Amino acid sequence: MRVAYCLLSVCLLAACSSVNYVGIETYNPAEITFPGNVGKILVVNNAIPQPDDVGCEFMLFGEKVDTCRVKADSALFYACNGLGKAMADISFFKDVLLYHDAVRTDDVYYEDKKLTPDQVKALCEETGTDAVVSVDRMLFESKKNIVAYPEGYVGGEIQVKISGVVRGYLPGRPNPLATVYVADSVFFNEEAPNQIILDRFLPSSENALRASAEYIGMKTSPNFVPHWNSETRWFYTGMGSRWKEASAYAQSEKWDKAVEHWKHLYENSGSWKSKAKAASNIALGCEMKTELEEAYEWANKSGELFKKGEGEDGKNAKLLQLYIEVLRNRVRSDKKLNMQFGE
């Protein structure tokens, strides 16, 4: 059985704090599940580049430059390249290929046009792939602003807004497997003594567009492949020797030992608060050992104790409700992840 693997680092926020915070990397399933027989993916550009004078604005020292032009054709390639590279880096599929040519030949850049079943079949047969991920539309809005400050230096900012549609296709299906709508903004800022030096460090509008397109492509990849997320957890500390030993084990990533100590505290404490904190810590230890269902059970025990002791609106009760929901989602995600790996 494949389970989500956790990598952690312990960060003590304050020496006297009763809570220590833990960074954790969780392995999450792709939003879209391809059939198990899909081993090779083809990434294609099915979008039309917008005209150079569309979506472009350049302000130079408060004056609008009417001759603003930004080429978007290469940006579409960078979007596909970023998407394909990010998918390949995960090594979930046997191979991820980037199609060498644009698919569409019309000039209606603003139209979202799906691949036809015949096109999908032909692309897969030509490249020996099992499925297609296609950028079907991508539009850009680029705003560049150069300003002069009273202190005698200049500043430059480029803002790139991106919106697009990416789809997954399977040969033999009349409709796409899934549709993903993407939208984001990327900012570039620099300051310099004068504009000549500023131009050395602030990217050109076209380079900013390419970098932004590659970024949005990479950001879209978790829809199609499993991926890592950075999250934060916590564990409670106490003044007794058992609490201190458990915390030391947790900080050393010796979760079996830490859980053993916390279970002793849970079973032998006469204080509801100590039992609630120990149960919460046990839940964390189980999660770190990828025992997600057991973690969920212990988090519920802790949550119930906190609700009885301090009420549903208590700080710890609310924290545990959030953690319970996180673990509930992780249990679901883990099942989906195992399904995507064919286990």
The Cβ-side half-sphere exposure at 11, using a 13 Å CA radius, reads 9
The predicted structure's pLDDT at residue 15: 39
pLDDT (tens place) for every residue of the chain, 343 residues total: 344 434 343 433 333 448 999 999 999 999 999 999 999 999 999 999 999 999 999 999 999 988 888 988 899 999 999 999 999 999 999 999 999 999 998 999 999 999 999 999 999 999 999 999 999 999 999 999 999 999 889 999 999 999 999 999 999 999 999 999 999 999 999 999 999 999 999 999 999 999 999 999 999 999 999 999 999 999 999 988 999 999 999 999 999 999 999 999 999 999 999 999 999 999 999 999 999 999 999 999 999 999 999 999 999 999 999 999 999 999 999 999 999 998 7
Q: Which CATH class is domain 40-225?
A: alpha beta
What are the tokens at 216? 């949005």
What are the tokens at 57? 């604005």
| DSSP summary character for residue 51 | P
| DSSP summary character for residue 191 | E
Q: Look at residue 248 and give its three-state secondary structure.
A: helix
User: Domain 7-28+228-340 falls in which CATH fold?
Assistant: 1.25.40
Q: Residue 148, Cα to own-chain centre: how many angstroms?
A: 37
- What is the identity of the amino acid at 245? E
Beta-bridged to residue 261, according to DSSP, are: none
Q: What is the pLDDT of residues 229-284, one digit of tens each?
A: 999 999 999 988 999 999 999 999 999 999 999 999 999 999 999 999 999 999 99
Residues sharing a CB contact under 8 Å with residue 121, sequence separation 6 or more, in sequence order: 171, 172
The boundaries of every CATH 1.25.40.10 domain in the chain are 7-28+228-340
Q: What is the 3-state secondary structure (H, E, C) of 211-237?
A: HHHHHHHHHHHHHCCCEEEEEEEEEEC
Q: Residue 342, Cα to own-chain centre: how many angstroms?
A: 23
Residues sharing a CB contact under 8 Å with residue 229, sequence separation 6 or more, in sequence order: 25, 26, 28
Interior/surface letters 257-291, b for 16+ CB within 10 angstroms, e for the rest: ebbebbbebbeebeeeebbbbbbbbbbbbbbbebb
The boundaries of every CATH 3.30.160 domain in the chain are 40-225
DSSP strands (E only) in the chain? 7-11, 19-28, 40-45, 56-60, 63-64, 95-102, 131-148, 154-169, 178-192, 227-236
